[in-house]
Chains A and B, each alone.
Chain A
Amino acid sequence: SQQGEEDPQALSIQEGENATMNCSYKTSINNLQWYRQNSGRGLVHLILIRSNEREKHSGRLRVTLDTSKKSSSLLITASRAADTASYFCATYNAGNMLTFGGGTRLMVKP
Chain B
Amino acid sequence: DSGVTQTPKHLITATGQRVTLRCSPRSGDLSVYWYQQSLDQGLQFLIQYYNGEERAKGNILERFSAQQFPDLHSELNLSSLELGDSALYFCASSASWAGGEQFFGPGTRLTVL
**Interface of A toward B, CB cutoff 8 Å:** 2, 30-31, 33, 35, 40-45, 48, 88, 92, 95-103
Do the beta carbons of B58 and A97 come within 8 Å of each other? yes
Do the beta carbons of B104 and A97 come within 8 Å of each other? no
Q: Which of B45, B106, B107, B109 contacts A98 (CB 8 A)?
A: B45
Do the beta carbons of A99 and B45 come within 8 Å of each other? yes
Q: Is B67 an interface residue (CB 8 A)?
A: no
Contact sample, A vs B, 19 pairs, CB 8 Å cutoff: A2-B42, A31-B99, A41-B106, A42-B2, A42-B104, A42-B106, A42-B107, A43-B43, A44-B2, A45-B103, A45-B104, A92-B98, A96-B48, A96-B55, A96-B98, A98-B45, A99-B45, A100-B43, A101-B42
Q: Which B residues are in CB contact (< 8 Å) with A103?
A: 42-43
**Interface of B toward A, CB cutoff 8 Å:** 2, 4, 33, 42-43, 45, 48, 55-56, 58, 88, 90, 92, 97-107, 109
Given A40-B88, A40-B109, A44-B2, A98-B102 contact (CB < 8 Å): yes
Q: Shortest Cβ distance from B64 into chain A, in angstroms?
A: 16
Given A96-B55, A96-B56, A97-B56, A43-B42 contact (CB < 8 Å): no
